[in-house]
Amino acid sequence: MPEEARALRWDQVNLDAASIAVGRSVHLGGDTSKSRRTLGLPQAVVEALREHRVRQDEEKAAAGEMWREHNLVFTTAVGTELDAANVRRSFRSMCEAAGIGEGWAPRELRTSFVSLLSASGVPVEEIARLAGHSSSRTTEVVYRKELRPVLVKGAEVMDQIFG
């Protein structure tokens, strides 16, 4: 998803319909029929994108003639495509600021997305479609990590018995 986000253009975003058309990747050969899809957006994302567009318009005005219009949703301060290394560095900084540590990478967003949907009972075939995987096997083997709750009942009973 991070590579798709780097290539995302505003003409692929429909904030009124709360959807985006994704699939174009900055990877060579990254656009397949399975990867091209339209996804609904959660309302919090729609609002964040609306705010982002306002900030981007302000950046465009501040950059003046230096701005290079590529219609990208996520850009440098002058409108050009983001470099993957800069995205990783910014992501690590955001994770550290959020208090979850700096050891995270943007690629883990896809794994988190898949794992959270799976833990919420979404069928793996539907998750594969959402993630743009050509096979649900990829979703299951590569991306889905089982989220197991901490089993506390035994500890609670032992605390009652010996507490």
Q: Which helix (H) or strand (E) holds 115?
A: helix 108-119
Q: Which overall architecture, per CATH, does domain 1-103 show?
A: Orthogonal Bundle (1.10)
- What is the Cα–Cα distance from 71 to 155, expressed in whole angstroms? 56
Q: What are phi and psi of 104, to 5 degrees?
A: -90, 155
Which 8-state DSSP code applies to residue 38? E
Question: Which two three-digit tokens encode residue 80?
Answer: 């050009």
Q: What pLDDT tens digit does each residue of the chain (163 aa) get?
A: 567 788 889 999 999 999 998 875 544 455 555 567 888 999 999 999 999 999 999 999 999 999 999 999 999 999 999 998 888 888 898 999 999 987 888 888 888 888 888 888 899 899 888 888 888 888 887 777 776 666 677 888 888 898 7
Q: Tell me the two tokens of residue 135.
A: 């096979």
Domain residue limits, the chain: 1-103, 107-163
122 CB-near residues (< 8 Å, 6+ apart): none
Whole-model pTM over 0.85? no
